[in-house]
Chain A
Amino acid sequence: MKTVISFDLHADMGFLKKPDINEKVYLTYNMLHKPCVLGILGAIVGLQGFTKNKEFPNYYKKLKSIPIGIKPIGSYCDNGNFSKIVIKYNNATCFANKGIEGNPNVQAILNIAEQTLIRPAYRIFLLLDLEKENEQTLYNRIRQQEASFIPYLGKNDYSAWWYKEDVKTDDGAILFQGVKEYNILQDEFKDNYKIETVFVKQKPVVESVVEEGEEDDFSDNFQISDFGTYVYFEKLPLKYNEQLYQYDYADFALTDSKLKVGSLPTENLYHIQEQDSRQRFVVQLN
């Protein structure tokens, strides 16, 4: 049996390292991405991580086929983007820097600068096949707020948490959703739709966004909020390249606008309905 669940993962800080530069400063992705989520799921289930060069870790082999959707959330998220700050620190153990210029026998202090996300939070949607043992375990543990190893956002300094039940502010607004379960609705996506999660853009989003002034504006189905205010873009890792053992990237976008029918291939799109509130969403699970 297949089911979609979601949980809100958040941390005080996060560092999702970009592997393309490593001199003077390390940069972070803004958005959580699938290879990183798989690592977090591996920690929850208790599967082994990276051990050897040129060998995919156990968690990746066992969980890579799980379709995953990611939505940035929280009050620190500005149109999909989180605040970042560069944190500089020293590793003064002298074991991290095996030599300084001109004198390779002298060990030195290592200066590190990392661009860090401030209060990152993401709603993660998972399409789980409960007939598979690992996915059944994952389903149970997420719902019970349990993990084998402590999940973290990029570095084990930045522990990540989620809640079973909704967390509300004093005035009743939902701060973080608890674990939710959804029914998958049959939909051929013949109407324009708004996507909750980040999605892979196959063509310029500008060609897909429904804009004010278009013919359908005056139909009863449209509301002012359908004409969005932003589009967020980021090139993100989608999976590992099995020849080069490095990330394979895709261009992702996130928008609060409606997209035109046929903008995206429908195979990764899911129309889901929350079991408790009956609210409906369209998500892309890659």
Chain B
Amino acid sequence: MIRELINFVNDLEQDYPEVFDLNKTPSPGLHLWIELDDEGNWKNNSPIEGEDYVIYDGKEIPSSLFNDATNYWEQGRTIGGATNTNKCVSDKKIHSCSPFIFAFKNENFGHINNKIIKTYFKIAQAEYLEDTDVEYIETSEKFANTISLVFDWLISTKIEVKKRDKLQLISILKVLKTKDYINLYIRNIDLNYYKIVHEKYLNTKLFNNNDYCIPKNVPIDKSKGLSNFINGANKKKMFMEHKTGLMIDGINTRISMDDAKALNKFEILSYQKAFPTPLPVIIDKQEFKFDEGEKITSTEIVKLFDAEGSKRTLPQILKSLFDTNPQRVLANYYLLYINGSIVYDFDFVSKFEYLIKVCNIQNLFAIKNKEKELLPTQRIHTIFGFENKIVKEIFNNSLVRIKDGIISYNYFNEINPKFIKNGGEEMASLILRYRKAFYDFIYKSRKQAITTLMFDKLMLFSILLDVKQDEGYNRDIQIKKKLNIWFSLNQFFINHNSINMATQFNELMKKMDLIANNDNIQLDQSLPEFLFATGQVIYYLLYHNKADKPSHAMLEPFLQKATVEHLQNAITNTVNVYKHEISFGKGRFERLCAQVLAYSSDENIKNSQRYLLAGYFAPAVIFYKNEK
């Protein structure tokens, strides 16, 4: 994986170097520039806010000092921000790594003594300055000697802060939060030299642990070492060690310093949220046979991610690219799903398919809008249309969530059933079971990921969940939407049966009407016909229920039946219960019910439950007017 990411970073450096400057912000806290005179005295003692120091609360910083704070801070931080204490120069409390910077967390202020300061500067000077850099060493020493004065200033200084709409004088140390940083820089040194020194630091600290570098007799940056990118030595966890194959000193993979630098850049960009998730990483841009304008590159995707100041999702980016030119091609890439330092998925995609073939959701179950008009057929043309309209519906707005017009996805993160409004734990379990398949189907164009068999099981379970949880018909539209999706898309996925369920549904509806209308027409010896007719009869029977809150959940006892006989018995019992409510005489119910009760078969009806559901939720032919 790391080789592909290294190529990706190198391509970004070449094609879009500005990305490394985007989203850069200094750490929250105090940023103070110390200026020394020729004798080494602190020249700007009593520093002025806005000129010599600035306090960044993580939200706003005066623009004049913003770049300065960012640039200086960047040249002094340890690897991985200031969190990786294994990369500290000396004491783990000091998180800077330069002889010209001294940075630590506010919470450690009382724990830093002269000994810690002296040791830090001694090591930093020895490691990152040459013996010939006499002038720089002297300046660094003078800077070290000034630190105690700066501490005095920090203790004594109070600044005006607006609190409860009043200006109050508060100690600078109390203005800062405990986790905020106190960053001290020396102004007498040119920033370019800070950069040179920081490069030296990186050259010795980018590997996970220099003990594993080989060969031993060369400078660290000329050797090969243990990668620090999502990788550790893990001596305490034997299954996490590099036990595969051959090893030297227990390590089986070493990388060069150049590769380590590229990976570090990727890590920083990743933390700065410079990429969409998931991120297509093009394998080799030379492999494109398309013209420049037709191919979609990783760089172009990263450029568009933050183009208008607000982060866009990958679907939004790809939609904008394909909508302007549907002929464009995104191919031969690894799709990386990474969140912080956790890789969730990394897989090859040979070609992304944006447009999808016929995907029309017919309104078979006659859903009406507020104006009581039948909803038209929903036509879906793109894979993201499929995601936003169909996947959202199937998983009750919990895998793909649309709230206040903002779309969010949960293909890999933890799922908390508490936040699933409709379905709770059962829906959470359904999402966990199927979400990877949908992710592969949508983002990797992997058609095999979802088969008709899978789709059938998923839809049945999802609908049964709604039926079970229905109260006062509050899930009626939801169920019908799912049935529309199920019956319309039966042939959309990789197919193991060739039945067109939408056509079959229309035929069944016609047949039901004929049976209900004519004594001479009978049910064929077909389980779908029987179950569909049964569904119609059950709906008619339960329609007469006078409960305060009638519910589709009453269908559930019928769905439990495994044989035709048991189902017929249940219907007979229900007819007995509601016989006083049913107006016999018009014939439609009698004809249909008689046919259902006369049917005979030994087949297990569990596998064909969809027809029972369809018959129940379809428009009820028993309520149609008789033909004359």
Contact = CB atoms under 8 A, between A and B. Distances in A.
A21 B289 contact: no
Interface in A1-51: 17-25, 27, 30, 35, 50
A249 B3 contact: yes
A53 B245 CA distance: 9
Contacts of B240: 22-23, 110, 112
Contacts of A56: 246
Interface string A164-206: 0000000000000000000000000000000000000000111
Interface in A75-101: 76, 78-81, 83-86, 91, 96-99
B406 interface: no
Contacts of B238: 96, 98
B2 A110 contact: no
A19 B289 contact: no
Contacts of A251: 284
B236 A98 contact: yes
B341 interface: yes
Most chain B CB inside 10 Å of its own CB: which residue of A30, A55, A235, A246? A246
Interface residues of B, number: 55
Contacts, number: 141
B239 A78 contact: no
Interface residues of A, number: 53
Contacts of B286: 204, 206
Contact of A211 (B246, B254, B289): B289
Given A22-B240, A204-B286, A235 B254 contact: no
Contacts of A20: 1-3, 227, 231, 253, 255
A225 to B, nearest CB: 17
Nearest to B239: A96
A53 B348 contact: no
B284 A81 contact: no
Interface stretch (B125-133, B443-451, B480-488): B443-451
B252 interface: yes
B341 A24 contact: yes
B343 interface: yes
A40 B541 CA distance: 65
A245 B224 CA distance: 12
A240 interface: yes
B348 A234 contact: yes
B332 A233 contact: yes
Contacts of A83: 440, 446, 448-449
A150 interface: no
A222 interface: no
A1 B575 CA distance: 83
A124 B356 CA distance: 36
Contacts of A112: 239-240
B236 A240 contact: no
A206 B448 contact: no
A200 to B, nearest CB: 14
B230 interface: yes
B270 to A, nearest CB: 14
Interface string A236-254: 0000100011110101000
A245 B252 contact: yes
Nearest to B235: A98
A190 B342 CA distance: 49
B259 to A, nearest CB: 10
B341 A245 contact: no
Given A78-B447, A83-B446, A244-B224, A19 B244 contact: yes
A247 B252 CA distance: 8
Contact of B436 (A50, A85, A99): A85
Interface in B413-469: 436, 440, 446-449
B347 A81 contact: yes
A115 interface: yes
Nearest to A49: B245
A83 B4 CA distance: 20
Contacts of B289: 206, 209, 211
A22 B244 CA distance: 11
Given A35-B245, A53-B247, A206-B286, A244 B440 contact: no
Contacts of A55: 246
Given A20-B2, A83-B446, A96-B239, A246 B254 contact: yes
B350 A17 contact: no
Contacts of A246: 245-246, 252-254
B586 interface: no
Interface string A131-167: 0000000000000000000000000000000000000
A104 interface: yes
Contact of A235 (B3, B249, B341): B3
Contacts of B440: 83
A84 B335 CA distance: 13
Contact of A97 (B236, B254, B345): B236
Contacts of B58: none
Interface string B251-291: 01111000000000000000000000000000110111100
Interface of A: 17-25, 27, 30, 35, 50, 53-56, 76, 78-81, 83-86, 91, 96-99, 104, 110, 112, 115, 204-206, 209, 211, 230-235, 240, 244-247, 249, 251
27 contacts: A17-B244, A18-B1, A20-B1, A20-B3, A21-B2, A22-B231, A22-B234, A22-B241, A23-B231, A23-B240, A24-B342, A25-B342, A50-B245, A53-B246, A56-B246, A76-B448, A79-B350, A81-B446, A96-B237, A112-B239, A115-B346, A204-B287, A211-B289, A233-B348, A240-B246, A244-B224, A245-B247
The 9 residue pairs across chains A and B that have the minimum distance between CB atoms? A245-B246, A206-B289, A21-B230, A204-B286, A19-B253, A98-B236, A230-B350, A20-B2, A23-B230
